[in-house]
Structure formats: C-alpha cells, structure tokens
Amino acid sequence: MSSSPDRKPSLSLPLYLTLWYAGIFTVSSLILFSIIYLSISGVLQNRNDEVLIDDVGEISALYREEGLSELEAEIRRETEIRGKNEVFYRLYHRNGNTVFSTNVADWHGLQYRPDVIAKVTSDKPVISTQSINDHKKARIAYGEVGEDLVIQIGDSLEDDNVFLDALKNVYVISLPLLMFVAGFFGWFMGKKALRGVTEVTEAALHISHGDLSRRVPETGRGDELDRLAVTFNGMLDRIQKLISGMQEITDNIAHDLKSPLARIRGLTESALTKPSSNNDFQSIAADTIEECDRLLHMINTMLDITETETGTVSLAMSSVNLSKLIADACELFEPIAEDKQIKMTCRITGEIIVYGNTQYLQRLISNLIDNALKYTRENGSICTTLQRKENNAVLTVHDTGIGIETKELQNIFKRFYRCDKSRSQSGSGLGLSLALAVAHAHGGDISVESTPDKGTLFTVTLPLMQPQ
C-alpha cells in the first residue's frame, strides 16, 4: 500500500501571528526611525545653514563699516571663542588669492573652488557639505563680502554627527528588546484572539468522540468569535435534535415494522407447517401482499416526508385550483362517510388558486379528511371549508370526533406518534407529519384546536398565487 509523502510540520497559528506581528513591528519601527532620523538631520542642517547665512551677513556689514583690519580681528576673536576645530574662516579674492585665514591644520581638504565662487552673489550665499581631514564633515558657506572679496566659513558637523550616531546606536541596541516585546505581546494577543477558535476546536474534538452535549462558551461580547460560538452551538443543537429525532424514528420504525413482519412470518410459517388447500395458499398470499403493501406505503411516506422537509427533491410547482381539489376530495370520501353514517359538508368560497404541486396538495387534503373520518363516531359530522383571507387560502377540516388531549396536541405532527385513543385505529402515524411537511414546502402552515369528546379543527394556511 502506497503511503503519502511526509508533510512538513506547520507553524501553529499563534506562532505564525507572532512572527507577523514582530516582522511588521520591526519594519514599521525601521521606517519610523528613518523618518525621524532624516527629519532631525534636516532640522540640524537648516539650523546650521541659518547660522552660516547670518555670519556671512554680519561679516559683510562689518567689512563695509569697519574695514578689513577690524574684520580680521573680529574673525580671530570669534575663532578663539568657538574653537579652531569648530569653525574656520578664509577671505578670498575672486581670483583665488587668500587675503587671510584662520588655522587650516584642522581643516585639511578645503580648497579654492572657482566653480563655487562663480555662483556667489551679494544676496545668495552658496552652502554645501564637504569632507575635512578625510572622514569629518563640515558645512561650508561662501558669501560675498565686497566687490572682489568672498568669505569662506566652515562649520564643523562633528557634534551633530555624534548626536545622530548616538541616536542610531540607541535604536540598534533597543531594537532586539522591542522585537522581543512585540513578539511577546503578539503571542499574547494571538492566543487571546484565537481562544474562541481553540474552544471551538476542542468542542469539535469532543463531539467527534460522541459527546454531543459539549458546547462552546459564549462571552456575550457580540464580536466575531462570540458569533462563531453562538452559530456553532446553534448548529450543535440542531444536529443533536436531528440525531435524537433519527433515534426516535428508528425506534418507531422498528416497532411499526415488527408487527407486519411478524404477521408475514406467521402466515408463511403456517403455510409451511400446516396442510393447506389452494384456497388457503391464496388467502395467505393475499394477506402477505397486504402486509407488504402496508410496509411499502409506510416506507414511501417516510421518504416523501424526508424529501419534502429537507428540500432534497424539487417539487414541480404550477398554478393549482385548490377549490377543485377540495371539491374532488369531498366527493371521493362521501361514500365512506355515508357508510359510517357521518354527515359530510363542503363549503368553498369562490375559485381559489395557489402555486404548488397538485399531487402533494391532494395528499395533504386527503390525509386531513381521512383522519377526520377515522376518529368521528356514527351520526357525527365533518365540515370542510375553503375561503380567502387577505393573501392566503385558508382550509379548515372540522369534525365532531373523539378529540385530542391538550397534552398530546404538541406531538401529533411527529412521525409515528399516535394518541392513546387512536391506537385502536389502523394507521402508521405518518399522515399528519406528511401534511405538515407539504404545508411548509408550499410556504404555509397547519394549526390544530381540539376538545376531548367534542371534536377537532385543523386549519391549513397557504399563500395565494400572486399575479405575474
């Protein structure tokens, strides 16, 4: 026997969700950090540029008012205050000759840039980032001081870079911790969110082992999982009800089949063990056929009820003259009523059309009238009426028979159920079940009112056929 290839072990759903939470959080935090980092870098650069532009303006004003010597003195004082590593000044002629400069030892790499000098105007300094001492960065501003003089100001970015590097280090160090926290909360939230699914799974496992009483706890919060639990429990209630009904039907079938099968066996055994004439054999064969017909009728009726209730068979629907069906049924049962000395009346108000299946509606009507005839005594009466009420056709069958006890009214439409008073009559207990199934299949219903020893009233309501 061939075996299927081994399946790879799959991740549990909580772990799968945890990995997703951690991954999404990591990517989101990386994007957020990048935005923050670039924003802070931009703010720092704008601040440095504003300082450089202000410095160019102040130097230009000082040169025009005090002259070159005072400008040089002021620049040297500013360099000593801020530190020669932090700021650099150089005054050029436009042809590249240096007028003066501060200490260039810490600013190696700053060269004369004629392409940049050419872009400098009186109202527009040029600012760029350049490398100094091979690895350090500085923000360099070129601004016009006089008609032939250009000032070069360098502002070190070392402090800003230290701050940004510290920010990156903090993020890199804290990222594993944040991922762990995200994973923990992802696992916790995943387990909490899937608790309802777990409970449904556990309930399904218990049910698969035969525990149909198991139910999923309902929280009452009204969320998706709670609605799943309510739906699942409702499904279990229906399944349990169906199984109980099937068990009851099985018991009833076994009970009702037992008697005709025993009679058939008894007839056959009698034919085999006792000397009989041809007439006796014919009588036994006739009785056997009668019992077999009864069994077949019972089985076919059960199948019809099941198919009608479940909708597994599609009824051929068309317009049906319900008035004519009832009139024909009353005419068919009139001789039986006369034999039993029962007064039978039929009152039909106009022509009433419904949308349905003729054969099944005939069986519904026949079952109700036949049921009334069985349980109505001599000199009793049966009145069948049909009338129109709003958008419905209302059929009533009222008899003056033995009636039904109040405690038994709720059970008379169950399959094989027979009241205590009806057990002496022939029948399988399926007629009213079939009638109710047919009424429901046509969008209608049946109700019953009864008083013991006074009579019973069955009322069938069916929707009228609507005009196209």
**pLDDT value of position 120:** 81
Q: Position of tokens 């005009």? A: 467
The burial class, CB within 10 Å (0-12 / 13-18 / 19+), for 46 is exposed
pLDDT band at 123 (very low <50, low <70, confident <90, very high): confident
> In this predicted model, what pLDDT tens digit does every residue of 314-339 receive, in sequence order?
677 888 999 999 999 999 999 999 98
Integer Cα distance of 138 and 318 in angstroms: 93
> In this predicted model, what pLDDT tens digit does every residue of 202-211 receive, in sequence order?
777 777 777 7
pLDDT band at 275 (very low <50, low <70, confident <90, very high): low
**pLDDT value of position 347:** 92
Mean pLDDT across the stretch 274-279? 64
pTM over 0.75: no
**pLDDT value of position 394:** 93
Mean pLDDT across the stretch 279-293? 72
Mean pLDDT across the stretch 38-62? 89
Q: Which two tokens stand for residue 224?
A: 């998706």
CB atoms inside a 10 Å sphere around CB 159: 10
Mean pLDDT across the stretch 243-270? 68
132 has pLDDT over 90: no
Mean pLDDT across the stretch 255-278? 69
pLDDT band at 459 (very low <50, low <70, confident <90, very high): very high
pLDDT band at 8 (very low <50, low <70, confident <90, very high): very low
- In this structure, the dihedral spanned by the alpha carbons of residues 76, 79, 80 and 86, taken in order and rounded to 10 degrees, is -160
User: Could you tell me if 364 and 434 are in contact, meaning their C-beta atoms sit under 8 angstroms apart?
Assistant: yes
> In this predicted model, what pLDDT tens digit does every residue of 363-419 receive, in sequence order?
899 989 988 998 888 889 999 999 998 889 999 999 998 888 888 877 787 766 665
Which residues touch 317 (CB under 8 Å, ≥6 apart)? 355, 356, 357
* pLDDT > 90 in the chain, percent: 13
**pLDDT value of position 4:** 45
Q: How far is CA 413 from CA 190, 350, 353, 382, 461, in A?
A: 49, 30, 26, 21, 16
**pLDDT value of position 390:** 84
- Lowest average pLDDT, out of 43-47, 90-94, 194-198, goes to 194-198
> In this predicted model, what pLDDT tens digit does every residue of 424-435 receive, in sequence order?
455 566 778 888
The burial class, CB within 10 Å (0-12 / 13-18 / 19+), for 205 is exposed
Which residues touch 330 (CB under 8 Å, ≥6 apart)? 344, 346, 369, 384
451 has pLDDT over 80: yes
Q: If you average pLDDT over every residue of the chain, what do you get?
A: 79
**pLDDT value of position 35:** 92
Integer Cα distance of 55 and 152 in angstroms: 10
355 has pLDDT over 70: yes
Domains annotated on the chain, with CATH: 13-166 (3.30.450), 224-310 (1.10.287.130), 318-463 (3.30.565.10)
9 has pLDDT over 70: no
Angle, CA of 378, 380 and 384, to the nearest 5° = 130
- Lowest average pLDDT, out of 163-172, 382-391, 425-434, 456-465, goes to 425-434
More confident residue, 259 or 108: 108
3 has pLDDT over 50: no
Backbone angles phi, psi at 112, to 5 degrees: -70, 130
**pLDDT value of position 269:** 72
Q: How far is CA 355 from CA 30, 190, 350, 448, in A?
A: 68, 53, 17, 23
**pLDDT value of position 311:** 57
**pLDDT value of position 383:** 94
**pLDDT value of position 255:** 62
Which residues touch 309 (CB under 8 Å, ≥6 apart)? 437, 440, 441
More confident residue, 413 or 173: 173
> In this predicted model, what pLDDT tens digit does every residue of 80-110 receive, in sequence order?
888 888 888 888 888 888 888 887 777 777 7
